[in-house]
Amino acid sequence: MEKAALGKEKKPYPRKNSHLALFAAWEFANQGKRTLIFSTQANWVESYGKQVVDLCKRGYLNSLLDDEASIARAVEVGKEWLGEDHPAVACLKQGVAIHHGRLPSPFLRELEALLSDGVLKVIVASPTLSQGLNLNAAVLLVPALYRAAEKIKGEEFANVAGRAGRAFVDVEGLIVHVMFDSIDWRKKEWVKLVASAKARTLKSGLIQIVAEIIERLSREGVLDRDDAWEYLANAREAWRSSTEEASVAERLAAARQNDADIAPDDADEDDGDAEETIEEEPLSQIVERLDATVFGLIEALDSDRSDLPKLLDEALRGSLWARQIAREDEEAAPLHKRVIEARADLIWKTTTAQARRGHFAMGVGLEAGLTIDAMADVLAELLDRADVAALSGDIDELIDALGGLCERLLFMRPFIPNKNNALPANWKAILRSWVSGEDVAKIGPQNMRTVEEAFTYRLVWALEAIRTRRMSLGWSPEMVAGGAAAAVETGVPQFMMSMLIRAGLPSRRAAMAAIEDAKPVFVTPAEMRAWLESDEITAYTDAGDWPTPNTAALWARFRTEALSGGIQKWSIEQYKRLLDIAGAPPAGLYRIVTDEGDGRSWLATPDYRRVAAFKKAAVDPKPSLFWGRLAGSTRLVEALRVGRGKLRWPAADA
């Protein structure tokens, strides 16, 4: 097969091409090679999952799964968070993983554990692959080279290509380009990309941002004014575009059409997952980036406005920007510096030192910061109401407060949920369903996109930004803060439920049932841990059907991992316990073995041969070293344990 890749097309992307990629992946997987298909857009990934299910159903492909039990936990988690028919869950049953950033965190944790253990042989991944996902494969298939009508950069491709080849397993990785037609053109595109990857250089982000701003300002005629720099340093409207929103929308529409020509036939038409290039972003969004850079360069936010040129010059001296701008046209550096200085001057002129600290803490630009400043008191009141409601589980109060926050925050950049700048008409009902803990199947797959993009991402970001701003300005909460953001992030109505999910419990049902049934009170990780260790929760867990019969196994594993993973310090404990045997075993040193499947604890020889059971079983959180000594002519064992956590004997046995 040719080492080339599928590029931008002038005619529709044939279904045969995506099928060819899947058949190739199956061939490599059957040779024992873990295979990764790289999709340049997240909204194309799920279409591969749908095709996997369809091809397996029709008998063209066989399941790659060796043992269904190995994925049972991941499937159960996926069914709860995504629904049984979701492509990520359905194709998992065929031994294929699809991975993109929109999938819920509990499911991604399960998926990544399966990938780490080598259970899944074929993976389809989105650009998250180049942004930190720790995954390698013997074979990398690249079916497309374009995203939003732009070819991916050499830096990104080099990062992705580096995933081919598993350490200590493969001598070298294989990078394969899937081509079905237009072979000559595709080969040329592939060669160009490979060459750009080999010749890649780290490009200063500041240069790209400022260059794009200069181009936009020139297009608007701002730089043609005689007073251009004074205008930019004193007028916020100078940095806005009255015509750009429409032109951006037109360019995005064209990009969607171009991408439709190369995307799999059944890819989701909504390209909200497709990443925007800087050329497609509105000017206001690019200026936000410049604002963040200015705050990063000038650490002393209480500096005088007159000192800005000197402070910026000192910060940029010797930087990547300085080294690279020196290789540009000789007029580039002064022009770039004037843009940066003008923006810094405007920020300082428009804000106080206190306001700048708040904007920097939130990570937002000047316009968003000033808008939030203007309604800070209202936002603070709403956020406090939401946090209190999350502590008590008052769903009506929680939704009312969150609704007020959404109305004020999700309609301003950078918290606008999508490129269409609009929430669906029924967004309040969707928010209530999600935070109330309703099943994903009841909320509806069509509404989960709003949940993922608007609520668990944008709204949580906004709530945490508001809280961070208040703290940076000296506010100290009188209660536990952050409960509302936790409730939105995890889709449950109470902070304690959120804490369990954030600690690793992969089930919303289990979290809600456990809190509603046991009615605990905890607000810190230490208090939660003490509750998990309590005799009450131990008894519930040991019963095997709590918090619900369907989630009991998930709960038991979570509790074991939470209790064993949180304690690092080992302790030494001594016990005296009776054996459940008539006579006395020979004197000597023995192992003590716990949790052997029969619910009992045993005295065993060094080679693990059982000698006698104890009258009462020990519950050992492990890892530990556990042994006992018999003095002779006695059933009383002097036991010594060295390990993490605290061993528990249900009751005294003598």
Element at 564 (helix H, strand E): helix 552-565
- In the chain, the amino acid numbered 4 is A
pLDDT of residue 358: 92
Q: In what order do the strands lie in the sheet with 636-644?
A: 570-578, 636-644, 624-630, 588-593, 602-604, 610-613
pLDDT of residue 204: 72
441 CB-near residues (< 8 Å, 6+ apart): 83, 84
Indicate the burial class of 529 (C-beta count within 10 angstroms; 0-12, 13-18, 19 or more).
Answer: middle
pLDDT of residue 247: 45
Length of the chain, in residues: 654
pLDDT of residue 168: 38
Secondary structure class of 69 (helix, strand, coil): helix
Secondary structure class of 172 (helix, strand, coil): coil
pLDDT of residue 33: 82
pLDDT of residue 270: 46
Q: Give the pTM.
A: 0.71
pLDDT of residue 12: 35
The DSSP code for 137 is: B
Bond preceding residue 525 cis, omega within 30 of 0: no
| Rounded Cα gap, residues 400 and 394, in angstroms | 10
Mean pLDDT by 10 residues, the chain (654 residues): 38 58 84 80 78 86 82 86 83 84 79 79 72 65 69 65 53 71 73 68 76 89 90 89 52 44 49 53 85 87 89 86 83 90 93 92 91 95 96 95 94 78 84 92 83 89 93 86 93 95 92 95 91 92 92 91 70 88 88 76 86 86 85 89 79 46
497 CB-near residues (< 8 Å, 6+ apart): 437, 487, 490, 508, 511, 512, 514, 515
pLDDT digits (tens, 9 = 90+) for 238-278: 898 766 544 444 444 444 444 444 455 555 444 444 445 56
| Rounded Cα gap, residues 91 and 50, in angstroms | 7
Residue linked to tokens 């991944």: 125
Q: Report the helix count and the strand count for the chain, using DSSP H and E.
A: 28, 13
Terminal Cα-to-Cα distance of the chain (whole angstroms): 73
In DSSP terms, 589 is beta-bridged to: 629
pLDDT of residue 130: 46
pLDDT of residue 249: 45
pLDDT of residue 92: 87
Secondary structure class of 559 (helix, strand, coil): helix
Q: By the 8 A CB rule, do 126 and 116 touch?
A: no
Listing DSSP states for 21-43 in one string gives HHHHHHHHHHTT--EEEE-SSHH
